[in-house]
Structure 1
């Protein structure tokens, strides 16, 4: 029961801006944040959730803090290394721009027309960590972009009123208006400070608008010096008219500037500093001139995103037609001009060194990291951009296959969270996937009337199974031998049987009077079970050709069917919310679980009844037994996944798959204030809105899986679970939900979960024991702390000759944890003989205890066996191909 959320697959990017912090790429996925390690090629999802879809994120310059803002203007301040939420704050308006200052002490937030400067919280304990420093209300329209100066004293602000403003963050005795950069004909998309290469002094400003124009503004130091030498105001005359300041204010400002000039002259006399010419004059009071105007010439496409790298003086821009360009400034030399796709690029950013470019496309769910010097991809990931319908684990639990409404089949590596192959030959939605037992072949069924077999070695479609007349397949099953393939249809209510070797149609099983949505072979024999909307579950003897040998009648439509791993029990879900368990050998009804109250989720916006009185969605559409058959997972058109104890028929736990208020069916009670004469306010489209159209807007009109009695929701996507699978090792399970594939696991080493903790058990005590060569004591202390990094550190300090004695002294309660660590080391550590010797000694010294407690230790033993088997297969492939090289090295070493 100790399953915890681990990762989110099936979607790499869903909209908003992405940020690179060090070697990690942070991207919003719904109301979660995905973190991709670009060096280790590993992705994980942070454990917290925002209230709704994330719209803006920002990372502090040192990479310690992350600020996440959702569509409801709720913000989370996160300790990024520890992945924990420190503070919450709700802004009063929609956040349109967000950025940390260069030193990380301040945060600039664009709230519509307002610009607010907040003090950044830190690690210290405070009653109210967020403190509002300043508020600027000079903009006439919504703010679109921000940029801080290198010293964090000034900030550039671009807005939809076609103007760019330069603000001074520090307060002065007399409030002054910002400097205005005018001339653009469309809303400003990006604003950036440019600096000299040898110093950090600001010398130019770049402003970029949506029509593809980039203006370069230079700091006119000579004119500013001449204008200020006579004590005149350094703002242009037209700006003084806009400001409307009084003569008294002008005199005060002139006096301030005169004093600054005197101080500057004194500094110039005492020092030859280059920056002394303008060090005493504020930037927003100096004179800026428009150096030149350049155009990217991509009409009729619009410029949608841009970024600037200050050290390299380069600009990257993305357009609505999928084209991006990289330009060297200020000469405006095009370095690269390429096309990613035909869809709009919604984000483009540089990394800190400037050698990597990151692009995101919200409509395709695509995320790319491109090394522009070598013109090679560092990362290329694209998730499903429609709902995931089905998934399946490989027999070794290393891979996960998914099929979706976008007609694609994707195969993911579970450990890294990356998709390594995509099959797109299907021409309609993929409804079922299944791995063969040999781990090298994948099958998929689709509504296009085909069942396809995919080779995972050569990555090709080597078999296609069809029918004499077109049919739509919604279920798929493969027998244990891999010789027979069965698929159920939604239109003809038949089950088709093919031979895997010859692709020939062997038989057509008829008898159902409704769509065959559930199909599964018995794990122990060749018996096939099928469930249909005709209120029956039928047992078929496929190999003997006897047809239906048993029929189990129900009172309502049967939605799915599942065999227990030992083949002695059959579970099926019906439309009335019950899970019925049968004995397939004797044909006896064993017991029934009433799950209507357990699966009941939130209220849909189109419902006219409360969630308690509504009958929609109170049923299970997918079932899955655990590896040992002791519990069963059940999910459906609800925000909950239920875990039941099979023997006692009791609810063990409910997992809430999402708390995203951007989805429908999450809230139990709706706010009547959001209801209008035309319907719910959230379902009314604003034609004038220019919000980026992402994945959520595409999925409108989902038909609720086509279930009988399902209500069509033409508004927001509904929170639901379409498929559930438990890994063969029993250590994790996956759920195909509206937001993607949610991974839950009990192998989460990051969470601090000490086994036996007291005041003397500390990391310092472990280091002290290692320094005194007390390796046994250090290992026991690390096991009590249960921190994986410390355990691994202590293991490698042990000498090979000391392994038998230390292994025999390990308490039996730590055996499972130690096996899990060794299983992980075998997959990533090069010291194979050392780790295998540890495993051998543990089995020798504690073999009796392992045999007596094999049921408890079974998951850890299976994980260890899986790692050793995979390692053995890899060595078998490497050694024969390098036989002569090994012989040569051995002969050289003997000499």
Structure 2
């Protein structure tokens, strides 16, 4: 029950801008979530907060503490990155196209529509409305496309779709409003505008503007004689002389009085309360001239992404043809010019030092970090282009394999969230995956008519299983010994059996009259269970060759099945939304769960009926037992994943996999104001042919993504769960959804049992028992409190010679919690021999109880086994690499 969202894998990047915080943390949008990748540790984590739609723009504070992110619905979240919590929320009236913190972190510049707004950064202040709008500039004639701050945080240069760039002064130098300086001469929209600095004076004296038609303009600042704020008269007016000038503030409103008379006109030598004289030189009072104009020479391509590193004076640009260029300014010397993709580059950014370049391609879901000096990849990640169809956990729970409709099989490390190998030999959709018991072999089934075996040591396809005539495989299973491989088809309704060692076809099991969409061997014997759309579940004795030994009839099509881990129960879901539980030994129906109302929810834009009255999608397409078999997870064409208690047949919890309104099927009730005569407003394609705004409209096929013109959904993805798998340790489970592969893990927060506490069970009592040299009593008290830090403290307080005596006094009810603590300690504790000694003595003292209650203790024992296996592999690799050095040291020691 304590599962919480942990991570999202499968699509590192889908659009928007990526940024690098603290020089090593890559932050990128992933749908309506945000992913943070540690480039040093090679780990990625997804923030638990969700947006109401896909994230479009993000910006991080200079110290990397805060994140300012906006989604497609113009709703913004202000997030504390270190604590991963939402601090503040705000909504904008227009789409946000540019976003950036000032170098001092005090302000946030936001380009929303034609406006440039300067907001004061809220920080950690607790206020009723923490966002304060400082200034608003409404001088642009079209959308703001890019912006940049000057190093002193006093000026902002803005590039616009109106073919100009403008220089704005953030602080009011006087009550007299002066129009911003215009950089003109561009022939296309300005997609990048950056300040350059003079390395001698460390002042901003250059501006680079980059246009969509692949040109870069270099502007140089010349300090001229500053006469007055208007820059017209040669001599300043006398102090105190009233002048009849219309005065406007930053919002364009008249000031000074009813007739617009200003009492005093101030010069730069005068004092102004709104201006700090130490803020630097006045960039909007001198003259700017165009020093040079250079072309990137990309005929037929558009410039889609760019960034500038102020310290190194480097410019990186990405184009719509997948090519990027790195140039040294101001001489415009090309350092690198390479092609990294066939699709357009949607983001390109430097890290703080400037040695790493980050590129993103939203159409391919690709994100890579490249070190341009050594010309090597720091990070290269790419998610599945289409939705994930199937999942499989490795026996030690460290690896997760995914197969998708893009014909690829990817293997991910669960702890880091990184994909370390991709197999692309399949020529059609991958429909099923299975890890062999030895943990080094992965099987995959595909609609291309092949079953492939992959070697996870050498990363190659070492065996391929085929049939005499081509078939489309949709299900896959292997027995516990790994000798037999079985696959079910959707066209011939047969089950094929091969030998794993020889690859020879052994048998063809016939009897089903519909597609065989699920196969699974019993965990305790060699009985194979199959489910089919012919409304039956059949049990087969594969080794004896007796054919179907049992048939379980149903009233509706059977969609999927799963064995309980102990093999004494079989669960299957049918098209009428029910889950049936069978006793496979006696062949009796034990009980049934009615799940139609539990999984219903979410109305498609094209639905004519409400979600409550619609009959489509109200069934489970994937099932998964927990590690101990006490509860079952079920998912389908819905935004919910249901968790049921098997013994009591009750719904324990519903997990809503997303709140992303960019997907179809998330809203329970549609708003009637969005319905027009031409259909739903969200499905009407009113975009023009101009594609300069971000990513092109993506049209995907299969599993929720419709090809253009095939259905009225116009490529709008539909939320659903295609596969559920729980890790053998029972601590995590994964769900392949339209949003990607969601990883849920157990909540590690402090949880205690109130019935196990009394007035004497306190942390002070634990410390007192330790001071009185009573380690057994202290350990039991800490287990009753169930506080992780106290349990680990008491474990290490026991001397090695006292471990057998203390282990024998542990009550049975605390064994699972103690084993979980050992597994957690092995992940980070250097005292390997000490923990192994504890585990050994615990098994000696309570072996009989552990054997009798293996079902309830299985998740904890699997976690311990996983930790020990990982350490064994690390030590084995270290020893094998030092083998010859150890031999040399031993030989030299014996000679001496």
Whole-Å Cα distance in 2 between the matches of residues 188 and 784 of structure 1? 65
Whole-Å Cα distance in 1 between the matches of residues 810 and 130 of structure 2? 46
Give 1:824 deviation, angstroms. Answer: 4.0
1:304 is aligned to 304
Q: Does 1:6 align with 2:6?
A: yes
2:341 is aligned to 341
Whole-Å Cα distance in 1 between the matches of residues 210 and 122 of structure 2? 32
Q: Does 1:61 align with 2:62?
A: yes
User: Contact (CA 8 Å) 2:432, 2:446: kept in 1 or not?
Assistant: yes
Change in Cα spacing, 1:473 to 1:279, as seen in structure 2 (3 Å) is closer
Change in Cα spacing, 1:228 to 1:254, as seen in structure 2 (3 Å) is farther
| Mapping for residues 3-402 of structure 1, pairs under 5 Å | 3-22=3-22, 23-171=24-172, 172-222=174-224, 230-231=234-235, 256-257=267-268, 259=270, 282-402=282-402
Instruction: Report the secondary structure of 1:698's partner residue.
Output: coil
Q: Does 1:592 align with 2:592?
A: yes
Whole-Å Cα distance in 2 between the matches of residues 465 and 561 of structure 1? 24
1:471-495 Cα offsets, whole Å, 9 max, x none, are 1111111111212111111112122
Whole-Å Cα distance in 1 between the matches of residues 111 and 763 of structure 2? 43
- Mean alpha-carbon deviation: is it higher for 169-178 or for 757-766? 757-766
1:415-435 Cα offsets, whole Å, 9 max, x none, are 111100000011111111111
| Mapping for residues 414-433 of structure 1, pairs under 5 Å | 414-433=414-433
1:742 is aligned to 742
1:618-655 Cα offsets, whole Å, 9 max, x none, are 00001111112111111000000111111111111111
Instruction: Report the secondary structure of 1:859's partner residue.
Output: helix
User: Contact (CA 8 Å) 2:628, 2:855: kept in 1 or not?
Assistant: no
Change in Cα spacing, 1:678 to 1:829, as seen in structure 2 (3 Å) is same
2:244 is aligned to none
Whole-Å Cα distance in 2 between the matches of residues 90 and 203 of structure 1? 35
Whole-Å Cα distance in 1 between the matches of residues 632 and 363 of structure 2? 36
User: Contact (CA 8 Å) 1:228, 1:257: kept in 2 or not?
Assistant: no
Instruction: Report the secondary structure of 2:445's partner residue.
Output: strand
User: Contact (CA 8 Å) 1:100, 1:107: kept in 2 or not?
Assistant: yes
2:240 is aligned to none
Change in Cα spacing, 1:629 to 1:796, as seen in structure 2 (3 Å) is closer
Whole-Å Cα distance in 1 between the matches of residues 782 and 721 of structure 2? 39
User: Contact (CA 8 Å) 2:74, 2:93: kept in 1 or not?
Assistant: yes
User: Contact (CA 8 Å) 1:231, 1:255: kept in 2 or not?
Assistant: no
Change in Cα spacing, 1:592 to 1:244, as seen in structure 2 (3 Å) is closer
Tell me which protein shows more helix as a share of its residues.
1
Change in Cα spacing, 1:852 to 1:456, as seen in structure 2 (3 Å) is closer
Whole-Å Cα distance in 2 between the matches of residues 839 and 333 of structure 1? 64
2:885 is aligned to 885
> How many positions carry a matched residue from both structures?
868
Change in Cα spacing, 1:252 to 1:432, as seen in structure 2 (3 Å) is farther
Whole-Å Cα distance in 1 between the matches of residues 829 and 296 of structure 2? 50
Whole-Å Cα distance in 2 between the matches of residues 874 and 828 of structure 1? 13
User: Contact (CA 8 Å) 2:706, 2:716: kept in 1 or not?
Assistant: no
Change in Cα spacing, 1:525 to 1:298, as seen in structure 2 (3 Å) is same
1:270 is aligned to none
Give 1:860 deviation, angstroms. Answer: 2.7
Give 1:871 deviation, angstroms. Answer: 2.3
User: Contact (CA 8 Å) 2:699, 2:715: kept in 1 or not?
Assistant: no
Change in Cα spacing, 1:211 to 1:254, as seen in structure 2 (3 Å) is farther
User: Contact (CA 8 Å) 1:517, 1:531: kept in 2 or not?
Assistant: yes
User: Contact (CA 8 Å) 1:700, 1:713: kept in 2 or not?
Assistant: no
Whole-Å Cα distance in 2 between the matches of residues 500 and 573 of structure 1? 30
Instruction: Report the secondary structure of 1:284's partner residue.
Output: coil
1:178-217 Cα offsets, whole Å, 9 max, x none, are 1111111111111111112244311111111111111111
Change in Cα spacing, 1:55 to 1:517, as seen in structure 2 (3 Å) is same
User: Contact (CA 8 Å) 1:696, 1:716: kept in 2 or not?
Assistant: no
1:214-235 Cα offsets, whole Å, 9 max, x none, are 11111112566998994489xx
Whole-Å Cα distance in 1 between the matches of residues 798 and 649 of structure 2? 48
- Mean alpha-carbon deviation: is it higher for 84-93 or for 249-258? 249-258
1:273 is aligned to none
Give 1:833 deviation, angstroms. Answer: 3.5
Give 1:830 deviation, angstroms. Answer: 4.8
Give 1:31 deviation, angstroms. Answer: 0.6
Give 1:326 deviation, angstroms. Answer: 1.0
TM, length-normalised to structure 1: 0.88
1:533 is aligned to 533
User: Contact (CA 8 Å) 1:702, 1:714: kept in 2 or not?
Assistant: no
Change in Cα spacing, 1:429 to 1:173, as seen in structure 2 (3 Å) is same
Whole-Å Cα distance in 2 between the matches of residues 198 and 774 of structure 1? 70
User: Contact (CA 8 Å) 1:703, 1:712: kept in 2 or not?
Assistant: no
1:469 is aligned to 469
| Mapping for residues 429-508 of structure 1, pairs under 5 Å | 429-508=429-508
- Mean alpha-carbon deviation: is it higher for 450-459 or for 508-517? 508-517
Gaps spanning 5+ residues in structure 2: where?
238-247
Gaps spanning 5+ residues in structure 1: where?
234-239, 268-275
User: Contact (CA 8 Å) 2:623, 2:634: kept in 1 or not?
Assistant: yes
2:243 is aligned to none
Change in Cα spacing, 1:754 to 1:289, as seen in structure 2 (3 Å) is farther
2:860 is aligned to 860
Whole-Å Cα distance in 1 between the matches of residues 146 and 617 of structure 2? 43
Whole-Å Cα distance in 2 between the matches of residues 827 and 70 of structure 1? 37
User: Contact (CA 8 Å) 2:577, 2:595: kept in 1 or not?
Assistant: yes
1:448-501 Cα offsets, whole Å, 9 max, x none, are 111111111111111111122221111111111212111111112122222212
Give 1:738 deviation, angstroms. Answer: 0.5
Instruction: Report the secondary structure of 2:609's partner residue.
Output: coil
Whole-Å Cα distance in 2 between the matches of residues 799 and 816 of structure 1? 22
CA RMSD of aligned residues (A): 4.0
User: Contact (CA 8 Å) 2:25, 2:37: kept in 1 or not?
Assistant: yes
Give 1:612 deviation, angstroms. Answer: 0.5
- Mean alpha-carbon deviation: is it higher for 685-694 or for 447-456? 685-694
Instruction: Report the secondary structure of 1:875's partner residue.
Output: helix
User: Contact (CA 8 Å) 1:582, 1:589: kept in 2 or not?
Assistant: yes
Instruction: Report the secondary structure of 1:150's partner residue.
Output: coil
- Mean alpha-carbon deviation: is it higher for 756-765 or for 500-509? 756-765
Give 1:384 deviation, angstroms. Answer: 0.4
User: Contact (CA 8 Å) 1:231, 1:258: kept in 2 or not?
Assistant: no
